[in-house]
Amino acid sequence: MVIETFTRPAPAAQPESDVERKPAVQPESAAVTTWAIDPGASRVAFTIGKRLLLWRLTVMGRFADVGGAITLDARRPANAHVDATIGVASVDTGIAKRDRHLLRADFFDAKRYPTARFTSDRVESLDLAAGRGRVRGTLTFRGVTREVALDLAFDPVQASGDQERLLVTASTEVNRRDFGLTWNSLPVGLTDTATITIDIVANRA
């Protein structure tokens, strides 16, 4: 009797193009980026009501000296962090005499407290698609620290050549008395609430 043996042919090699390729995992360090606030393109503006006898006016001003850094985490956007500083002496309301008064001890007391600072604690209600969110943190001004919440609006990252740029607008309202700003002088008076708007331009470091 003759017994025939058969050998099963080996499977054909799968073409390299058909092999499933797993996407490269982004390193943890690459997901975190730092952005330097551009002092020449950023500003902090404020408005506050002013009473003069029977008239109600609005005083507008800004701080031109703004610096600091923003840290973003592509994997965990809610981990974003902001550390921004404001040079108090850079205040500008368009009236030099008033600006000099604001720097005195009964207002900003700029000699004792030359810098204001905002440091974020957490990000809330973040909507990347809509470019909206809220960041909570602490604002230190005139030697007093208070918690504030900033409403955010931001655009997609802009690229110009090799430079990437981040545009963010933030706004909030604060009570001036919370920071020791209690000045009033009849017949002139100021409202307690001031509106703050921050326009930030930051470049990728």
* CATH number of the domain that residue 106 is part of: 2.40.128.110
Q: Which two tokens stand for residue 106?
A: 């009964």
pTM of this structure: 0.81
Answer yes or no: is pLDDT of 50 > 90. Answer: no
Q: Is residue 22 part of a domain?
A: no
Q: Is residue 23 part of a domain?
A: no
Q: Is residue 10 part of a domain?
A: no
pLDDT of amino acid 174: 97
pLDDT tens-digit map of 137-196: 999 999 999 999 999 999 989 998 889 999 999 999 999 999 999 987 767 788 999 999
Over residues 89-109, mean pLDDT: 96
Alpha carbon 43 to chain centroid distance? 11
Q: Is the peptide bond before 187 cis (omega within 30 degrees of 0)?
A: yes
Which domain range does residue 77 map to?
Answer: 39-204
Q: Is residue 192 part of a domain?
A: yes
Q: Is residue 178 part of a domain?
A: yes
Answer yes or no: is pLDDT of 27 > 70. Answer: no
- Contact (Cβ atoms closer than 8 angstroms) between residue 121 and residue 137: yes
Q: Give the whole-angstrom CA distance, residue 1 versus residue 175.
A: 105
pLDDT tens-digit map of 117-153: 999 999 998 898 899 999 999 999 999 999 999 999 9
Q: Give the whole-angstrom CA distance, residue 63 versus residue 116.
A: 10
pLDDT of amino acid 185: 72
Q: Is residue 28 part of a domain?
A: no
On average, the pLDDT of the chain sits at 87
Q: Give the whole-angstrom CA distance, residue 13 versus residue 63.
A: 68
**What's the number of domains the chain is made of?**
1
Q: Is residue 5 part of a domain?
A: no
Residue 145 neighbours by CB under 8 Å, 6+ apart: 138, 139
